[in-house]
Amino acid sequence: MAVTVQAALAEGSRLFREAGRAECPAADISAPALDASLFLASVLDTDRSSLLSAGPRLLSPDSYGRFLKLVERRLSGECTAYILGKKEFWGLDFFVSPAVLVPRPDTEILVEAALEHIAGRQSGKEGEGIRVLDLCTGSGAVAVSLKHECPGADLTASDISEAALAVARENARRLLKKGPSGADAIRFVKSDLFDGIACLFDLVTANPPYIPSGELADLAPEVRGEPRLALDGGKDGLDIAGRLVAQARDRLTRGGVLLVEADPRQMAALAGIFEKNGYRNIRRRRDLSGLERVIEGAVQE
pLDDT tens for each residue of 272-285: 999 999 999 999 99
Complete edge-to-edge strand list for the sheet that includes strand 280-286: 187-190, 154-159, 131-135, 201-206, 252-261, 292-298, 280-286
294 Cβ contact list (under 8 Å, min separation 6): 109, 110, 113, 259, 260, 261, 262, 284, 285, 287
**Which of 244, 253, 245, 247 is closest to 129 using CA atoms?**
253
Q: Which residues are paired to 134 by β-bridges?
A: 157, 205
Between CA 187 and CA 123 the distance in angstroms is 20
The verdict on domain 3-77 having CATH code 1.10.3470 is no
**pLDDT mean over 44-59:** 85
Between CA 293 and CA 241 the distance in angstroms is 13
Beta strands in 145-276 (DSSP E): 154-159, 187-190, 201-206, 252-261
Instruction: Specify the fold of 96-298.
Output: Rossmann fold (3.40.50)
pLDDT grade for 22, boundaries at 50, 70 and 90: low
pTM to 2 decimal places = 0.92
**pLDDT mean over 146-165:** 96
Q: DSSP label at 127?
A: G
Q: Are strands 187-190 and 154-159 parallel, antiparallel or unpaired?
A: parallel
Do 39 and 70 form a contact (C-beta atoms < 8 A)?
yes
CA distances from 60 to 5, 8, 35 (A): 10, 11, 20
Between CA 127 and CA 125 the distance in angstroms is 5
Instruction: Answer yes or no: is pLDDT of 69 > 50.
Output: yes
The more confident residue out of 181 and 49 is 49
Do 170 and 164 form a contact (C-beta atoms < 8 A)?
no
pLDDT at 53: 77
Question: How many secondary structure helices (H) and strands (E) does the chain include?
Answer: 11, 11
Residue extents of the structural domains in the chain: 3-77, 96-298
pLDDT at 179: 53
Instruction: Answer yes or no: is pLDDT of 58 > 60.
Output: yes
For 198-216, write each residue's pLDDT tens digit: 899 999 999 999 999 999 9
Q: What percentage of the chain exceeds 90 in pLDDT?
A: 81
Between CA 136 and CA 270 the distance in angstroms is 17
Instruction: Answer yes or no: is pLDDT of 54 > 90.
Output: no
The more confident residue out of 298 and 1 is 298
**26 Rama sector, left if φ>0, alpha if ψ -120 to 50, beta otherwise:** alpha
